[in-house]
């Protein structure tokens, strides 16, 4: 007879005296925040209503197919390498990132195909076939993209805008860079061809922005992609999510799934606890919300006095476009389809006006087609393909 099993020890568990940090949301941002806090000595609890981590980077799995629900493009792999390093690990031990060549294929409504890559000679050859005069424009555009990148990304992206003086000086510098201009207006300054103006201005759409109104700082993406490339994770983007989640748990962090935070409790100007839908109250030394600002201020902090983020201001806010997304698997492979394909319809400005300004569902559309099995066959059964196709639509 195992006496120890019949009479288990009631010795109290050791008290964890580390400061407690609660992170609301197990998306990529919430997980990365939790991992870094754990590495800095915090006891971390991440709370999320879904049944597995990921947030917008959730994965759907069915019948041997794996579909990334959200982001599919990784443009700054060194940021993930730094995250792993800061947490005492190596990215390559947990996640394999591979470059995409070309970055993506663009197909226009008239059948013109353009393979967008970091190979400048190949890019210039394709540009010359569309509009020879725009080769010089491509070079000048890359120069401007680099200048914007060096200021907006390298110097400012990691700095908080807490100081009024710092913010004022920064804004002055950004104005000198032309940040008040739209992406499309900057691109149009360098390119004469409408096709090439579309090709080099669509990037804000990947994060929900309108190229005709998004700040020209997004032009830095051209330099960012050229410098670091476009990558994907073997196993899908959700494999990267699972890797970050492992960084959290290795440092003793806890990820609580299928739990919903309904309120952040405050005392004065400090968050002190969160309350769950179950009624449970969890105290914390700090609380970080990775939920959307409208949810954080309009719902979770609804009882907290708010001078700036009032309900009225949240209601007046302009929200991004929505996406209509299909996930489907096939019983054969389509080897002529690349990993990333952009399919542009007959209208560009008109369609985006319908989406962002008129809030009207147009009869024509543009599509992003994602075929990850072009690079990673493990995401589908043998001889099959996994697809994800999305169409931008007005905010729902």
Residue-wise pLDDT for 116-159, tens only, equals 999 999 999 999 999 999 999 999 999 999 999 998 877 776 66
Cite the beta strand spans of the chain per DSSP E: 20-24, 43-47, 59-62, 65-68, 97-99, 104-107, 113-116, 231-233, 254-256, 261-267, 270-276, 281-283, 286-289, 322-330, 340-343, 367-370, 385-393
For residue 328, tell me if it sits in a domain: no
Same domain? For 126 and 74 the reply is: no
Alpha carbon distance 77, 250 (integer Å): 22
Residue-wise pLDDT for 234-274, tens only, equals 999 999 999 999 999 999 999 999 999 999 999 988 999 99
Domain with 67 in it: what CATH number? 3.50.50.60
pLDDT, mean of residues 204-224? 94
Q: How many domains is the chain built from?
A: 2
Inter-residue contact 68 to 388 (CB < 8 Å): yes
Reported as a pLDDT band with limits 50, 70 and 90, residue 1 is: very low
Counting residues of the chain whose pLDDT is more than 70, the rounded percentage is 91
Closest CA to 141 of 126, 157, 124: 124
pLDDT, mean of residues 383-392? 97
Same domain? For 203 and 146 the reply is: yes
For residue 221, tell me if it sits in a domain: yes
> Which of 85-89, 170-174, 249-253 has the weakest average pLDDT?
170-174
According to the model, what pLDDT value does residue 169 have?
62
For residue 358, tell me if it sits in a domain: no
Q: Is the pLDDT of residue 112 over 90?
A: yes
According to the model, what pLDDT value does residue 312 have?
79
Same domain? For 125 and 202 the reply is: yes
Q: Pick from 206, 228, 250: which residue ends a domain?
A: 228
Looking at per-residue pLDDT, the higher value among 253 and 4 belongs to: 253
Same domain? For 127 and 223 the reply is: yes
Domain with 157 in it: what CATH number? 1.10.405
Q: Which two tokens stand for residue 381?
A: 């059964």
For residue 368, tell me if it sits in a domain: no
For residue 395, tell me if it sits in a domain: no
Same domain? For 143 and 206 the reply is: yes
Range of the domain at 273: 16-97+235-316
Same domain? For 133 and 210 the reply is: yes
Same domain? For 210 and 129 the reply is: yes
If you average pLDDT over every residue of the chain, what do you get?
Answer: 92
pLDDT, mean of residues 367-388? 98
Same domain? For 246 and 267 the reply is: yes
For residue 326, tell me if it sits in a domain: no
Same domain? For 144 and 216 the reply is: yes
Q: Pick from 288, 316, 344: which residue ends a domain?
A: 316
Same domain? For 256 and 306 the reply is: yes
For residue 363, tell me if it sits in a domain: no
Crossing angle for the helix pair 183-190 and 134-148, nearest 10 degrees? 140
What pTM was estimated for this model as a whole? 0.89
According to the model, what pLDDT value does residue 255 have?
98
Residues 6+ apart with CB under 8 A from 312: none
Residues 6+ apart with CB under 8 A from 139: none
Counting residues of the chain whose pLDDT is more than 90, the rounded percentage is 80
For residue 347, tell me if it sits in a domain: no
Q: Pick from 202, 228, 254: which residue ends a domain?
A: 228
Residue-wise pLDDT for 291-349, tens only, equals 998 999 999 998 888 777 777 787 888 888 999 999 999 999 999 999 999 999 999 99
């Amino acid at each position: 007879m195992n006496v120890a099993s019949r009479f288990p020890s009631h010795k109290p568990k050791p008290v964890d005296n580390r400061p407690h940090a609660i992170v609301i949301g197990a998306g990529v941002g919430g997980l990365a925040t939790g991992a870094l806090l754990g590495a800095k000595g915090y006891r971390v609890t991440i709370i999320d209503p879904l049944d597995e981590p990921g947030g917008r980077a959730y994965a759907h799995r069915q019948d041997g197919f794996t579909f990334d629900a959200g982001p599919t493009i990784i443009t700054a792999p060194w940021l993930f390498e730094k995250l792993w390093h800061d947490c005492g690990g190596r990215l390559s031990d947990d996640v394999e990132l591979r470059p995409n060549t070309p970055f993506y294929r663009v197909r226009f409504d008239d059948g013109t195909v353009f393979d967008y890559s970091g190979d400048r000679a190949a890019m210039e050859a394709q540009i010359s076939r569309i509009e020879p005069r725009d080769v010089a424009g491509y070079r000048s555009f890359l120069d401007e993209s680099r200048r914007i990148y060096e200021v907006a990304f390298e110097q400012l992206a990691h700095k908080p805008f807490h100081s009024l003086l710092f913010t004022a000086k920064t804004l002055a510098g950004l104005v000198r860079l032309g940040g008040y201009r739209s992406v499309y207006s900057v691109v149009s300054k360098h390119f004469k061809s409408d096709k090439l103006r579309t090709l080099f201005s669509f990037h804000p759409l990947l994060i929900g922005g309108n190229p005709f109104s998004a700040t020209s700082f997004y032009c830095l993406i051209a330099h960012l992609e050229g410098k670091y490339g476009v990558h994907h994770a073997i196993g899908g983007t959700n494999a990267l999510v699972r890797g970050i989640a492992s960084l959290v748990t290795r440092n003793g962090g806890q990820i609580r799934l299928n739990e919903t935070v309904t309120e952040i409790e405050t005392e004065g100007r400090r968050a002190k606890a969160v309350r769950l839908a179950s009624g449970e109250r969890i105290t914390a030394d700090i609380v970080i919300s990775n939920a959307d600002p409208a949810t954080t201020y309009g719902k979770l902090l609804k009882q907290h006095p708010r001078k700036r983020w009032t309900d009225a201001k949240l209601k007046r806010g302009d929200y991004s476009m929505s996406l209509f997304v299909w996930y489907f698997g096939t019983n054969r492979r389509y080897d002529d389809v690349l990993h990333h394909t952009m399919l542009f319809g007959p209208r560009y400005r008109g369609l985006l006006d319908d989406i962002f300004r008129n809030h009207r569902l147009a009869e024509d559309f543009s599509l992003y087609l994602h075929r990850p099995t072009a690079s990673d066959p493990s995401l589908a059964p043998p001889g099959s393909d996994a697809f994800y196709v999305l169409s931008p639509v007005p905010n729902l």
